[in-house]
Structure formats: structure tokens, C-alpha cells
Amino acid sequence: MITYILRRLLQSVLTLFVISIILFGLISLVPGGMMTAYAENPDMTPEDIARLEARYGFNDPAPLRYVKWLGNTLRGDWGNSYVSKRPALQEIGERLPNTMLLMGVMLAVTLLIAVPLGILSAIRQYTWFDHVTTTLAFAGQSLPVFWFGLLLIIVFHVTLRKPDGTPLLPGSGMYTLGAEFSLIDRIEHLILPVTMLALVSAAGYMRYMRSSMLDVIHEDYVRTARAKGLRERGVIFKHAMRNALIPLVTLIGLDLPSLFGGALFTETIFAWPGIGRLYFTAALKTDYPVIMAVLVIYSGLIILSSLLVDILYAALDPRIRLS
């Protein structure tokens, strides 16, 4: 087992190294160079741009710049943002709690919707309930996320109003500017972005749970449990559901890095001050220290989650360790 873990750790480090090379190379190939976002700024003269390019080493060959970046990163220096002049990790650290709040609530709401509906859809296969939920799941997966978010804003922020004439729900931000801290205010600001993410995500999870449940309820041990005279509720929840949740837990584990990465469209549309919005702003301004920091950390978390899932599988199934 130790040999297997060490081999997977080595593979993960090499994978992250290759990913960093690819990401750095793609960013270096930005049309017009790294100072493209500032070329049309009337306050920036060609001499200013040339001076900045020399200062940040943009005139050096890409391999040399990568080696410098890698050396600084290994020492804990991820560079400073070109926009705010602050350390990239500090920019990420300030927005990480906001993203984890949004994505954590979204994941909880998603599971509360998807798991019960998936189970009911499976045990009521081919009934009207199954057809309706399956159709809605297909529609949810096909729904453009950005369009759905704008629709929510139009309906619940612009159209619908409270008796005092204010919008029914906030359409942007994570709290009301100038107001004292209020839990109700925070919840109100969470409703629309969480609804946007949860309904779309729940569609995929629900179909996955339904498929897993259908595979389980036809197994011999489930039929044996029924033959012993157990009540149907006990058969479903004590025998079938516990085993049907195993593949879903694996899927959730692989999706956990999204708690860091956030949701680009959602945070941008609802002006949520999280990692996704930070990345979008950095991409517009070619703020590559921030871009590289977000992408490399997110890639590392994806690799780490995959590694943990592989180790868990290896612990449960010795055949994987020997493969």
C-alpha cells in the first residue's frame, strides 16, 4: 500500500509540473503580449509599456521566464498582482472564504435536492414522477448557466417588488453596502446565486443517483432483504441507498476542488467577490501572476482529490494496488 501511495504521489507531482508548463506556455502566447490590456490606455505611452515589459522580464525567452517563476513559486513567492500590486496569494486568500461560503451552501442544497429525487425516481421507475423528474433533469443540464442567472435577476430583482417598492431579492454582491452585519441579509444575497448553481448541478447529480440506485435495487442482497420480510423503507434506506451513495461520494470528492475555484459565470453575473470573479478580472487585465496562482492551485486540488479517491479505492479493493 505504501509503495502504491508513493508511486501515485510521484505521478501527481509530475502531472502538476507538466500542467504548470502548459499553463505558462498558453499564457505566454496571449496575442499582442502580456501588456495587451494596457496598450489602449491613453495614460500609457509606448515608453511606459516598454519599461514595464523590461521590469517584469517579458522580453526574456519564455523558458527562462518559466524557470524564474518556478523558482520563486517553490520559495513561496507567487508574484504580485499587476493591478493591485499586492501578493497574488493574498488576493486569493481574501476571496477564498467568500467562494467557499457560496460553493459550500450550493453543494449542500444540491445534495438535498438531488439525492431524494434520484432515489424516488429510481424506486418509481417509469411512473409519471420518474418521467417528470428525468425531463427536468435533462432540461437543467441543457440550461445555459449565464442565461439562467440573468433570468433570475430580471424576475426576482427587477420585476418582483416588496410592498415598500424595493427589489424582492438582491441582485448583486454578498451583503448590502453600508448596512450592519445581518444574517438575513447574507441569506438573501445567497438565494439567487445558490439557486442558479444548485438547480443546474442537481440535475446531473440526480441522474447519477437514479442510475446508481437502479443498479443497486436489482441486486441479490436487496431481493434477499425483501424475502426476509423487511419493510420496504428499511430495504431502501438501510441496504440499497447506502450502497448507491458510494459512487456519488466519489463524484462529490472529485468536485470538491470547485469549492476553491468557484463559479466564473455566477460570481461575475452576481458580482460575488470570490475566486471566480478574481480570475475573470485578472484575465481581462492579463494579470498573469494571479491567473497562474489560481490555475495552478486549482489544478493541484484536482490532482489531490483524484489521488485521495485512488487511495481510498486502493484501500477498499486490493486489485487496484496490484494493477
Average pLDDT, the chain: 84
Which band of pLDDT confidence, cut at 50, 70 and 90, is reported for residue 6?
Answer: confident
Which band of pLDDT confidence, cut at 50, 70 and 90, is reported for residue 60?
Answer: confident
In the predicted model, is pLDDT for residue 321 greater than 80? no
pLDDT at 40: 65
pLDDT at 317: 54
CA distance 142 to 94: 33
- The set of cell numbers assigned to 86 is 499586492
Which band of pLDDT confidence, cut at 50, 70 and 90, is reported for residue 293?
Answer: very high
In the predicted model, is pLDDT for residue 244 greater than 90? no
Burial of 192 (0-12, 13-18, 19+ CB in 10 A): buried
Q: Which CATH superfamily is domain 88-286 in?
A: MetI-like (1.10.3720.10)
Greater confidence, 103 or 309? 103
What phi and psi values does residue 164 have, to the nearest 5 degrees? -85, 5
Which band of pLDDT confidence, cut at 50, 70 and 90, is reported for residue 22?
Answer: very high
Task: Give the residue among 19, 3, 2 at the shortest CA–CA distance from 304.
Answer: 19
Domain boundaries, given as residue ranges, for the chain: 88-286
